[in-house]
Amino acid sequence: MKPAPFAYLRPSILEEALAALAGTQGAKVLAGGQSLVPLLSMRLAAPSMLVDINALPDLDHVTSDDDGVRVGALARHADVLASSGAAAAQPLLAMALSHVAHPTIRNRGTTVGSVVHADAAAEMPMVLRLLEGSVDVASVRGRRTVPAAELFAGPLETTLAHDEIAVEAFFPALGPGAGVAFQEIARRHGDYALVGAAAHVETDGDAVTRARVGYVSASDVPVVVDVTDAVTDPAGDPAAAALAELEPAGDIHASAAYRAHLVTVLTPRVLADATDHARRRAGERSSA
Amino acid sequence: MTSPAPEELHDVRLRVNGSVHEVRVPARRLLSDALRHDCGLTGTHVGCEHGVCGACTILVDGRPVRSCLMLAVSAVDAEITTVEGLTEPDGSLSPVQQAFSDCHGLQCGFCTPGFLTTITAGLRENPDPSEDEAREMIAGNLCRCTGYQNIVRSVLRAAEIGAEGPASRSTDVDGGGEDR
Ligand SMILES: Cc1cc2nc3c(=O)[nH]c(=O)nc-3n(C[C@H](O)[C@H](O)[C@H](O)COP(=O)(O)OP(=O)(O)OC[C@H]3O[C@@H](n4cnc5c(N)ncnc54)[C@H](O)[C@@H]3O)c2cc1C
Ligand code: FES
Ligand code: FES
């Protein structure tokens, strides 16, 4: 259980990191290492070089305003979870982050690293998709913004080029009249979820105008399903609508049938919670 | 694989428990191994080597972190505390160590260094945890012996000792800490 040899660079300016990634075949970014180092130790990954971004300046921010929350590439899960500004602008962040691993892992693992690691069993890639956020990436060719809908290409795979560094993730703020909820089933708190679900519901008065649910570990990529029709139709079945677009798989932790069952249980729960949340927020606004 | 050039070594200055250790390591040296083999601090234990068991937990700038998931070369700017650094300056047991002794919070002791570091940091953040919070504090660490009940008791006892202050601690304990 030891990594294979690799070259190592710990640049203190972004341009140097980008040049090293562009100029070295098989080079990889090292952020918090909470996913990459186990892969190295198990020799499931053998990069030729690691470009450690932990000494780069000005990347550890968590800034919030009316538009949303901007999370720098070196902000740890724990920093985002502790940010009261982030919790106020987009409550789903803290709801989901408290389920990401254990506090010890959250002290080191970065939220941006988790997003670009693109694990379908991870909470934050799904959250970015559900919230219709984006990631800012840099390379020797310049900067670009990748919307979440265009980020995830396959299991553990994004559309980022091998020499691009994700410098910031943007999670939009929760709009007026909208509500969110998150629930997951895991064997122990802090373990990867057997299945997790987050809902984002928009309301106008008593009416639901849009309802979407994102799923963790219910397909091999982060999936978000629009269930507005099933929610607004009195005879509709949002969980069945969701299952039609999911492909739960079986493994040593749970069978495919059990995962499908959890989708059926969690979908109505998170939709009800998010709808309540939206109405409470609307109530607070009108009484304020 | 191209021609296997001799592996490059990096000179790394590690600051551990207030002392400086100059080590020469390949980039792939895990911090857990650097502490144990290069610094001779074998109090940090290595169980799973992929982040799951918590035996290797150390404090990096005061926060608990898995040392098996950090490279020694990335620890250059960090202030590291291992289990050896938890004892009081006079060599007596810290409140958490004393509580483990009082409550039989260990059996084989393999997992103990990771629990001690995790709980030390946890109590700094929450000095008066409820039983549920004590369980939550240790949820990321595995123990194959105790069944956890006495570890939960140790967390609560350590909080008590911390609140009472140093005077109330039993005085006749064998500190067992390293002279520093
Ligand atoms: C015991 C344990 C339990 C865990 N449980 C959970 C869980 O329940 N839920 C969950 O979501 N996660 C869990 N994780 C994973 C954790 O959230 C990781 O922190 C996260 O997935 C990766 O972030 P990182 O900063 O550690 O990235 P790293 O491990 O450093 O990198 C991961 C990958 O992303 C790339 N990368 C990282 N940052 C960038 C960047 N800025 N630009 C370009 N590429 C980048 C790397 O090259 C690498 O391929 C767990 C981890 C452990 C060890
Ligand atoms: S040895 Fe590091 S967590 Fe198990
Ligand atoms: S005391 Fe033996 S593993 Fe915990």
Ligand nearest the Cα of residue B115 is 3
Q: CA–CA distance from B99 to each of A104, B16, B57 (Å)? A: 22, 24, 19
Q: Which of B52, B71, B118, B142 to mutate to test the pocket of ligand 2 (most atoms within 8 A of CB)?
A: B52
- Do B98 and B165 touch, CB atoms closer than 8 A? no
Q: Which residue has the higher pLDDT, A4 or B4?
A: A4
Q: Do A10 and B63 touch (CB under 8 A)?
A: no
Q: What is the pLDDT of residue B165?
A: 77
The reply to whether B74 falls in a domain is yes
pLDDT of residue B175: 41
B176 located within any domain: no
Predicted ipTM of the assembly: 0.92
Q: Is A85 in the B-facing interface, judged by CB distances under 8 Å?
A: no
Q: How far is CA A15 from CA A59, B16, B100, B127, in A?
A: 14, 32, 50, 44
pLDDT at B172: 43
What is the residue range of B145's domain? Answer: 95-165
Question: Which of B18, B52, B85 is the endpoint of a domain?
Answer: B85
- Residue A112's identity, in one-letter code, is V
Choice among B2-6, B15-19, B122-126 with the minimum mean pLDDT: B2-6
B4 in any annotated domain: no
The Cα–Cα gap between A122 and A91 comes to: 18
Looking at the fold, whether B81 and B141 belong to one and the same domain comes out as no
- pLDDT tops 90 at residue B179: no
Give the per-residue SS3 of chain A.
CCCCCCEEECCCCHHHHHHHHHHCCCEEEECCCCCHHHHHHCCCCCCCEEEECCCCCCCCCEEECCCEEEEECCCEHHHHHHCHHHHHHCHHHHHHHCCCCCHHHHCCCEHHHHHHHCCCCCHHHHHHHHCCCEEEEEECCEEEEEEHHHCEEECCEECCCCCCEEEEEEEECCCCCEEEEEEEECCCCCCCCCEEEEEEEEEECCEEEEEEEEEECCCCCCEEEECHHHHHCCCCCHHHHHHCCCCCCCCCCCCHHHHHHHHHHHHHHHHHHHHHHHHHHHHHHHHC
In chain A, what are the domains?
7-55 (3.30.43.10), 62-172 (3.30.465.10), 178-287 (3.30.390.50)
Place of tokens 């495919």: A256
Residue B180 has pLDDT above 50, yes or no: no
Question: B121 by DSSP, 3-state: which?
Answer: helix
| Phi, psi dihedrals of residue A278, rounded to the nearest 5° | -60, -45
Q: What is the pLDDT of residue B177?
A: 40
Looking at B63, B85, B107, the residue that finishes a domain is B85
8 Å CB contact of B66 and A108: yes
| CATH number (domain holding residue B133) | 1.10.150.120
Determine contact: B94 vs chain A, CB below 8 A: no
Q: Band the pLDDT of B4: cuts 50, 70, 90.
A: low
Residue B1 placed within a domain: no
Residue B56 lies in a domain: yes
Q: Average pLDDT for consecutive 10-residue bins of chain A (288 residues)? A: 94 98 97 98 96 97 98 98 98 97 96 97 98 98 98 96 98 96 90 96 94 97 97 96 96 96 98 97 80
- pLDDT attached to residue A288: 65
Residue B49: pLDDT over 90? yes
Co-location of B59 and B124 in the same domain: no
For helices B149-164 and B95-102, angle between their N-to-C axes, nearest 10 degrees: 130
What SS3 class is residue B79? strand
Same-domain pairing of B69 and B21: yes
Ligand 2 centroid to B160 CA: how many Å?
Answer: 29
Q: State percent of chain B over pLDDT 70.
A: 89
What pLDDT, on a 0 to 100 scale, did the predictor assign at position A10?
A: 97
Write down the pLDDT at residue B169: 52
Q: Give chain A positions within 8 Å (CB) of B139.
A: 102, 188-190
| Mean pLDDT over the full length of chain B | 91
CB pairs under 8 A between A and B: 89
A139 touching chain B per CB within 8 A? no
Structural domain count of chain B? 2
Mean pLDDT computed over B113-138: 97
Q: Which helix (H) or strand (E) holds B81?
A: strand B79-81
Q: Closest ligand 1 atom, CA of A192?
A: 8
